[in-house]
Chains A and B, each alone.
Chain A
Amino acid sequence: MYKYILQSAGNINWMALFALLSFFAVFMISVIAIFGKRKSFIDRMASLPLEDSYVPHPENEETNEK
């Protein structure tokens, strides 16, 4: 079976490879980036639509004052 997979892989052109690799890169970067964030930051971002006006929040203080 591997033989056939490898044979067909030989027909894949640079566009298909570039498409796969570039998507993999964008996907992994976005996953790593977002999972590297603190929960407090994520919670603060998620609550933004609920705050039409200013709402005191620890994360808010942090980003504005540091």
Chain B
Amino acid sequence: MSKLEKFYYDNVIVKNFAYATAFWGVIGMTVGLLAALQLVYPIFNLGLAETSYGRIRPLHTNAVIFAFVGNGIFMGVYHSMQRLLKTRLYSDALSKFHFWGWQSIIVAAAITLPLGYTSSHEYAELEWPIDIAIAVVWIAFGVNMFGTILKRRENHLYVAIWFYIATWVTVTVLHVFNNLVIPVHLMKSIPVFAGVQDALVQWWYGHNAVAFFLTTPYLGLMYYYLPKAANRPVYSYRLSIIHFWALIFIYIWAGPHHLLYTSLPDWAQSLGVAFSVMLIAPSWGGMLNGLLTLRGAWDRVRTDPILKFMVVAITAYGMATFEGPMMSIKSVNAISHYTDWTVGHVHVGTLGWNGMLTFSVLYWLLPRIFNTKLYSVKLANTHFWIATLGTLFYVVPLYVAGWTQSLMWKEFTRDGFLQYRNFLETVTQIIPMYGVRALGGAIYLGGVFLMCYNLIKTVKSGNLIENEMAEAPARAVYVPHKGEHWHRWIERRPVLLLMSATIVVLIGGLVEIFPMILIDENVPKIASVKPYTPLELEGRDLYIREGCVGCHSQMIRPFRSETERYGDYSKSGEFIYDRPFLWGSKRTGPDLHRQGGKNPDSWHYYHMIDPQSISTGSIMPPYPWLARNDLDTTYTAAKIKVLQSLGTPYPKNYEKVLYQDLRKQAMEIAKGLEKENIKQENLDKKEIIAIIAYLQRLGTDATPKPQAITPSE
């Protein structure tokens, strides 16, 4: 045996990420509670653009996913990886850069999202300079991780490390592909893909953000911390390996289940459904492997809050990964999509799986690196029950709300008319459930405050072991021996493992996405569909800035209940100039794809300024600033130039005359409003004119106005 080497684990970086996890957890969930309250009492929009729902919702999702869970991942990965590989992290400087870089990105997101700088791609809303910063910090994380793996003392890589590697490589690929944009200026970019192609790439990303940011790294944490907390090895190491390969292969194909019954070609939808249903198998393999690890230790679950959190987390993972595939079946999706059922489903995963596993790791880890005991087991037990209760109060009303609203959308009278013609009726019906949901969120957040108190007291009672001593023999140069299994050869070569994982995750992406991008016949053109006018384009960017896509879809599915309510179903050819696509994923308000021409301009004017004055009981936030702010047209020409470079057929040298077109259209709309007694100084220069122009254009190209019939002789 080689001589034992003495070395030190870096606990400072683990502590930093642990603090950041708890801190951003509080912030992200508080913002979530604010958004939940806004859906019950619109007054919580506070009358400010920066705090209105459309801007707050992406702030909440980004904060909980990338700040709370993100820091939780780095905390767990840096803590477990050192111990599994028997070495200190590759570089203290890179660790620090990673930590402060990631926190700076979060702060940048917290500033820019409320200011309305957004790409509108869900969970990828941040604009291009921040995307570049994310890439740089992510690469630093990768170098630190692979550097640590290469200088390891342990020959073999435990399965948790495999999950970390797959996470890193897949998030890298997803981040690059979903953020392929051309900058217009420092805080505005236009995606290279349009319409249905943009939608497919976005949901390939969006689904795999759930898969490879909220799931695979947390499975790695489960495979490390569950055996630790239970003090027994994982139930089946063999099953964990099969779990790994099957999961990463299948997950990457499932994205199109977010686009069922949309304009996405049928073959892509079918692939998404098939692989989503298949996902049950590896997911439940992992869940059972986790729960069975507790065989013989269930008596401890009764008293140990850490194990309690872990059991509920793994159970929530099982529930969410059963429900997800079920919701991917087309007939179920026809009911669930666009409703609060999806929001409830997501929160089983985030509150149950991510939240509770994070809490358990924090409770387990902090006392150990501070060389002390948890301040109060009783408080941790109380937190467990509060968190469980909060989760139930959160998700159950959303299931009821989702089913109620969906059934109301689809209900017809005996005479064949929609029973609830007015969309608002289906909203006011579920507001009490939104109230209970907000209560559930408040309870859950209360538990997090309790945890913070418990952890602060714990930390104060101990002293951080900044450099924790450990011993292990140096890794000897390996000489392969006869009869050795080939897979062991792979395991000793992390680069090969990295490449294998990359190939496996790329297969699904390439097969699904490349034909979609390369084959023109997948997006049939419609001759009457023309590019947006400059004023409509600016109005569209205001629609993006205000986050309207968070509540309004622009995708009418081919159901009678939808075509009766909204108009003809949406076709892929209608979106070829939509950069980014704005199909949305939730209908808190009605679909807007055929909104053009439905209401007069004056209706939109009053509705934007004070929605409740037009629609009593509406929960839409007011947008009075749209009537106050002058429309900024500084970058209109630059936007048109970028769109031209991407193939949008604006006339040659259009930038020289586009401002005349813009002014002319704005004057016409303003004159029309004046005729309807809307008097306002410089009305034609206000933002509201642009957004009215955009809304009145929506969906009108494919359903042209009927031509006057010339009488025949």
Please tell me the size bucket of the interface on B: 35 or more
Give the number of A-B contacts (CB < 8 Å). Answer: 119
Cβ of B154 under 8 Å from chain A: yes
Query: Are B476 and A65 touching (Cβ within 8 A)?
Result: yes
The 4 closest A-B pairs by CB, nearest first: A46-B233, A30-B245, A33-B487, A54-B472
Query: Are A13 and B154 touching (Cβ within 8 A)?
Result: no
Q: Which residue of B lies closest to A48 (CB)?
A: B158
Interface string of A10-52 (1 = CB under 8 A from B): 0001011011001100110111011111000111111111111
Q: Would you list 7 pairs from A and B whose C-beta atoms are within 8 A, ordered by A residue?
A: A16-B274, A19-B508, A19-B511, A30-B245, A45-B158, A54-B4, A65-B1
A52 in complex: contacting residue of B83, B231, B244, CB < 8 Å: B83
By a CB distance below 8 angstroms, the chain B residues around A63 are 155-156, 478
Interface on chain A toward B: helix, strand, loop, or mixed SS? helix
Cβ of B253 under 8 Å from chain A: yes
10 extra A-B contacts, CB within 8 A, seeds A18-B511, A49-B228, A53-B470 = A23-B249, A27-B242, A27-B245, A34-B238, A34-B487, A46-B233, A49-B234, A52-B83, A61-B1, A63-B155
Q: Would you list which residues of chain B between 206 and 240 have a CB under 8 Å from chain A?
A: 223-225, 227-228, 231-234, 237-238
Cβ of A3 under 8 Å from chain B: no
Query: Are B156 and A13 touching (Cβ within 8 A)?
Result: no
Query: Are A64 and B476 touching (Cβ within 8 A)?
Result: yes
When chains A and B are docked, how far (Å) is the Cα of A26 from the Cα of B247?
11
A64 and B155 contact, Cβ closer than 8 Å, known pairs A26-B245, A33-B487, A49-B227 = yes
Please tell me the size bucket of the interface on A: 35 or more
When chains A and B are docked, how far (Å) is the Cα of A23 from the Cα of B250?
8
A49 and B476 contact, Cβ closer than 8 Å, known pairs A19-B275, A33-B487, A34-B242 = no
Cβ of B708 under 8 Å from chain A: no
Q: Would you list which residues of chain B between 634 and 683 have a CB under 8 Å from chain A?
A: none
Query: Are B84 and A30 touching (Cβ within 8 A)?
Result: no
Interface string of B466-493 (1 = CB under 8 A from A): 0000111101101101000111100000
Cβ of B382 under 8 Å from chain A: no
A42 in complex: contacting residue of B228, B237, B253, B271, CB < 8 Å: B237
Query: Are B84 and A64 touching (Cβ within 8 A)?
Result: no
A45 and B156 contact, Cβ closer than 8 Å, known pairs A26-B245, A36-B487 = yes
Q: Which residue of B lies closest to A66 (CB)?
A: B481
By a CB distance below 8 angstroms, the chain B residues around A48 are 84, 154, 156, 158
Cβ of B160 under 8 Å from chain A: yes
Query: Are B234 and A46 touching (Cβ within 8 A)?
Result: yes
By a CB distance below 8 angstroms, the chain A residues around B515 are 15
When chains A and B are docked, how far (Å) is the Cα of A25 from the Cα of B158?
23
A33 and B473 contact, Cβ closer than 8 Å, known pairs A15-B271, A22-B507, A61-B1 = no
